[in-house]
Amino acid sequence: MSYGVESNIDWQTTIDEIAIEIQPLLSQGQVANYIPELSNVKDDAFGLSISLLDGQEFQVGDASTNFSVQSISKVYSLTKAFSLLKDKLWERVGKEPSGNPFNSLIQLEHENGKPRNPFINAGAIVVADCVVSNTPDSVNTIIDYVRQLAGNKKIAIDQAMFQSEKSFGHRNAALAHFMKSYGNIESDVDEVLDFYFGHCSLKMNCQDVAKSFLFLANHGVHPITGKRYLTASQAKRMNALLLTCGTYDAAGDFAFRVGMPGKSGVGGGIAAIIPGLLSVCVWSPGLDKYGNSLAGVKALELFTTKTEISIF
């Protein structure tokens, strides 16, 4: 796909300008602290990395500083589960925006233990169960998977973050046990939660995350290795879910302002793609009231506004 204008864009100048323009916002967000380890971060950090399908990369700011990917990792585990279970997956998790916070318990009882979508925590825990129940060593499988996608063998789980999530993950444990009572969790709940907390605790930088999303801009095929992770149809569905559910109950606002399918995490990262062209990851730990990076959303809004490239 060609957008016709991208050859005229000076990517580096564009992102350098963005890094300056978002500076006043860096003090306005709130760093997540409901997982205590998440608050151990420089709250004025800002990084952004772009990966183009043709292999070019551009970075600004703290783009090579590791951060906790948190919910961005739900995309990796969903990719794995979708490729394993195919459309059977949707018998256990829905595809509609939730309109509720990412860790809400309310909807689940009304909907008999079937989460609205795979990106709210309940949905991601069902997805985690699908991976755990269908792979012999789920934790190492997902680490290898992410290392391949990002082309970085050093990517690992942050053990302090993992322990912190495990110790304070009472809501997630409640969600998992509740869904088990409806028969929507097959494996042992603790094993499923360990896998879920494990992938949320992956430490990556903006460059790694941007590269790891490139296959979604390329119909499911990694443009550098040529390896297929999803069929073209599955990649289409994944991008649709990212657009409608990837930033929780702010997905409408994100689509309106940014115009890209994207996934946020409470570590302050957001990854987004433009099909046929690029992937981008921005990181800034101060969050808005929906749990999305405040400066990160603004940076992506500036990016699509300045370049005049979005999916719309």
Site string for ligand GLN, 145-184 (x = CB under 6 A): --------------------x------x------------
Residue 260 host element (H or E): none
Residues designated as active site: 71, 74, 196, 248, 266
Identify whether the C-beta of residue 203 lies closer than 8 Å to the C-beta of residue 38. Answer: no
State the minimum distance, in angstroms, from the CB of residue 200 to ligand GLN.
4
Among 30, 39, 100, 103, binds ligand GLN (CB under 6 A): 103
Regarding 266 and contact with ligand GLN (CB under 6 A), the answer is yes
Q: Where are the beta strands (DSSP E) in the chain?
A: 30-31, 47-52, 57-61, 67-68, 156-157, 202-204, 262-264, 269-274, 278-283, 286-287
Find how far residue 43's CA is from the centre of its chain.
Answer: 20
State the minimum distance, in angstroms, from the CB of residue 153 to ligand GLN.
24
State the minimum distance, in angstroms, from the CB of residue 11 to ligand GLN.
28
Residue 253 host element (H or E): helix 251-257
Regarding 200 and contact with ligand GLN (CB under 6 A), the answer is yes
Identify whether the C-beta of residue 171 lies closer than 8 Å to the C-beta of residue 105. Answer: yes
Q: What contacts 2, CB < 8 A, 6 or more positions away?
A: 276
Regarding 310 and contact with ligand GLN (CB under 6 A), the answer is no
State the minimum distance, in angstroms, from the CB of residue 91 to ligand GLN.
23
Regarding 41 and contact with ligand GLN (CB under 6 A), the answer is no
User: What are the beta bridge partners of residue 272?
Assistant: 262, 280
Regarding 247 and contact with ligand GLN (CB under 6 A), the answer is no
Nearest in space to 251 (alpha carbons), one of 126, 123, 106, 119: 119
Among 118, 265, 268, 296, binds ligand GLN (CB under 6 A): 265
Q: How many residues bind ligand GLN (CB under 6 A)?
A: 11
Site string for ligand GLN, 279-308 (x = CB under 6 A): ------------x-----------------
Nearest in space to 275 (alpha carbons), one of 108, 53, 111, 62: 53
Positions in the binding site for ligand GLN (CB under 6 A): 70-71, 102-103, 121, 165, 172, 200, 265-266, 291
